[in-house]
A and B are shown apart, each in its own frame.
Chain A
Amino acid sequence: MNRIATFSTAPAMLQDVFAAQRSLADIQRQIASGKRLQKGSDGPAQVVTTLDHRARLARSEQLDRNADQARQWLGAADLTTQTVIGRMTEARTLLVQARSSALDDRGREAIANQIRDIKASLVESANTMLMGRPLFGGTTSGTQAYDAGGNYVGDTGSVTIPVSVGVTMSVSRTGPEVFGTHDPLDPMSGDIFQQLDAIAAAVASNDVDGIGMGITKLDAAMDRVELIQVELGSRMVQVDDLRASAAVQDDQLRAAVSELEDVDYAEAAVLLKSRTAAYEAALAVTAQVVQKSLLDFLR
């Protein structure tokens, strides 16, 4: 190419000016939006990764809200079982008192009444509500786990909540699991309400064998409720642990998304500066081109 057409330099230079302008507009757009990845072709691998991270983040945020729910269930169960154990301990103390000391009929009747009160308050505890649902009612849509007569009216389902990726947790216990199974034939081997009724009757009638049996049954029932309390309590700890580790992971994911998508402002500012300079230089040079010709030097 030894010859140059005078005006052919202009389109070529214009192409360069356009290119400079494009890259300048590109960095301006990035700075204005704060995003480096605007569309798939800006970095297909990065976009797929960032979409994956975003989906995992959204899922994780939802799981965190689930964990919150699970914690409410477990917390309520913990509190209620604790009350229940307290009441049962009271009943046992009364029972021991009834067995050991010489009481007259009125004294025994008073203790029997106290035991019946405890039973009533246990029924109340068994009907504890959480978010409009009976805590020990399984998955029933009814408003009670036990009716006024102490009969279980919930179902056998349990509330399960996924609290972390791959971890789905059962966060509720049905009434029979906590308070024992109803036995229509033998009240002493039935649920706690039947047992307490039977025990109250035994105390009232000074049935020493019945009282001894009652203490044994009460101990077994307390063991069962305590076991459930420990179990649910440890689940609460597990939920907290899972949340904590999920939070760390989320932070990492968020950092990764930001790393992938967001503009590094320092870098972008430097690029903006240098590209502005390049663009201005290209403009200046283009303005200079084809200004002079031989015409200027001929008389």
Chain B
Amino acid sequence: MSFSALNTALTSLRAQRRAMEMIGHNVANANTDGYTRRRVDLDPAGHVSVGGVWSRPSSTGNGVEVSGITRMREDFVDMRVRQQLGVSGTATRLATIYDQIESLIPEPSDTGISAQMSAFWSAFSEAASRPGDLGTRSAVLSRATTLAGSLRTASEALGGYRTQLQADMSVTVSQLNSDIGEIASLNGAIVAAQAAGVDAGDLQDQRDLLIDRVVSTTGATTKSEDDGSVSVFLGGKTLVRGTRTEGLAVTVGGPLDPPLDTLPFQQVSLRWAGDGYGVQSLGGSLAADLDGIGRVVPNALAQLDAVASALVTSVNALHVTGHGLDATADVGLNFFDPAGTTAATISLSADVAGQPSRIALAGGLEGDLGGALGHQIATLAESTTGPDSIFRNLVGRLGVEAQTAASSAAIQERISGQLQQERQSATGVNLDEELAALVASQRAYEAAARILTAADEMLDQLINRTGVVGR
């Protein structure tokens, strides 16, 4: 009988208390975002495994010791979640962008560009039926002004949305740069903590949250290093390694790629802040931003320009051949300003603006009150290659792309929801489980205390009641 039993009981008391504290921490963080549940690892306290010549280890052990604290995280699931985060980051963002663009060109509608175009053609026909009536002629001008205004508004709204996307992107990139800086400094803190044998679980949780965010904005990949740090890679280059980082920067300049190079937009690209090389294999929401800025919005605008251009050229081509109410003075006039063939610049020509009598409704050979040309212009509404049809194509193509983007975003959201759930099933706190562990620890604590009491009583027996005969 030695005092080792006391020590054994003490190690158990300590270990169970550690375990209970851990349970308390887990329960306290049951709702904390990104928290990874942890478990205290208990090991039997080793005895000297190889006996000396003169001493022989006692056959029992020396109690229990806390060998470490395990974060309940599965690297494989983490990897899959992050892969998915990058993909669904792109899909979700792209769906939002398409949704916005669709809301800028609202069709089908009784008041949209399509309806206004029909009203414009109608006005021409109406005026051509009564060429001498200045009222119906004025209606042509006001319909045309409304239509041109709507095209300009849509064009401005699209351009404005692109600017907004660009501003959003700059904010995202600066957030990203600060995130990777934080990841790097957490890397340093975690390596130091682990070297000192301190539990760095909370720091790791914080780092994992930041990494998730970086991955969902860029589609970056990660690698856990042996020293406890995590490296973050993007397109073969390193965003974070240890405590070193290289940030990204948004650069603006140069025309868009053909055939969009005629638009008054500048190319926006994402580059490495250090060497200025373009970022390769970008994913995440930033990829969708770049796609929106460089392709989706400009495409929609280019098609809108095509509508305006077809409108201006087809109407003018007929209009110049006819004459207005004054067959000698009102000849060879343009209806729309031939200089403005984009949606942003379309406007009435100065020849007819405010002068309804100069609208050419009569063909070249007709008298002043001829209306054949006006009717012919109105017949452009039936053209299968005219502005109406181009506009319908625009709406249709945008609709198809938006629908595809929305459904792929929905699918990706489902998948990442499932994967997150899977990750949660490893890392999340289950209260029942914690309570059961608490009961177990509590009981173990009680039992260890009982052993302490028993050892104490035995020693008491030995020390105070043994060899007292005749005292």
Contacts and interface: CB of A to CB of B under 8 A. Distances in A.
Report if A and B associate in a common complex.
yes
Interface in B380-432: 381-382, 388, 391-393, 395-400, 402-403, 406, 417, 420-422, 424-432
A132 B132 contact: yes
A145 to B, nearest CB: 11
A66 B125 contact: yes
A238 interface: no
B395 A48 contact: yes
Contacts of A162: 125, 375, 378-379
A12 interface: yes
Contacts of B31: 7
Which of the four size classes fits the interface of chain B?
Answer: 35 or more
A227 interface: no
A40 B368 contact: no
B219 interface: no
A5 B430 contact: yes
A41 B102 contact: yes
Given A133-B132, A139-B368, A293-B432, A1 B425 contact: yes
B130 interface: yes
Contact of B107 (A2, A11, A51): A51
A51 B395 contact: yes
Contacts of A132: 132
Contacts of A63: 125
Nearest to A8: B424
A248 B264 CA distance: 48
28 contacts: A4-B430, A6-B428, A7-B429, A15-B417, A37-B108, A39-B103, A40-B398, A40-B400, A42-B403, A43-B403, A44-B397, A44-B398, A47-B107, A48-B395, A54-B115, A62-B121, A65-B125, A65-B129, A139-B366, A139-B367, A139-B368, A140-B367, A155-B367, A157-B370, A161-B128, A161-B371, A293-B432, A294-B432
Interface in A21-78: 37, 39-45, 47-48, 50-52, 54-56, 58-59, 61-63, 65-66, 69
B347 interface: no
B375 A66 contact: yes
B369 interface: yes
Interface in B424-471: 424-433, 435-436, 439
B353 interface: no
A55 to B, nearest CB: 5
Contact of B421 (A1, A54, A69): A1
Interface in A93-125: none
A58 B122 CA distance: 8
A214 B106 CA distance: 71
Given A44-B396, A132-B132, A7 B119 contact: no
B118 interface: yes
Contacts of A138: 367
Interface in A122-176: 131-133, 138-141, 154-155, 157, 159-162, 165, 168
B143 to A, nearest CB: 12
B366 A47 contact: no
A270 interface: no
B126 A62 contact: yes
Given A5-B427, A141-B132, A40 B367 contact: no
Given A51-B114, A162-B125, A44 B399 contact: yes
B335 interface: no
A141 B368 contact: yes
Contacts of B102: 39-41
Given A11-B420, A58-B121, 14 more contacts: A1-B422, A4-B428, A5-B424, A7-B428, A41-B102, A47-B396, A58-B119, A62-B122, A139-B368, A140-B368, A141-B325, A141-B369, A157-B370, A162-B125
A163 B250 CA distance: 59
A105 to B, nearest CB: 46
A58 B111 CA distance: 13
B81 interface: no
A7 B30 contact: yes
Nearest to A53: B108
B98 interface: yes
Contacts of A42: 399, 403
A44 B325 CA distance: 44
A3 B426 contact: yes
Nearest to B430: A6
A69 to B, nearest CB: 4
Interface in B269-308: none
A295 interface: yes
Contacts of B368: 139-141
B372 interface: yes
Interface in B91-110: 98-99, 102-103, 105-108
B195 to A, nearest CB: 31
B399 A47 contact: yes
Interface string B312-336: 0000000000000100000000000
Contact of A3 (B122, B367, B379, B425): B425
B53 interface: no
Contacts of B325: 141
Given A40-B398, A51-B392, A8 B366 contact: no
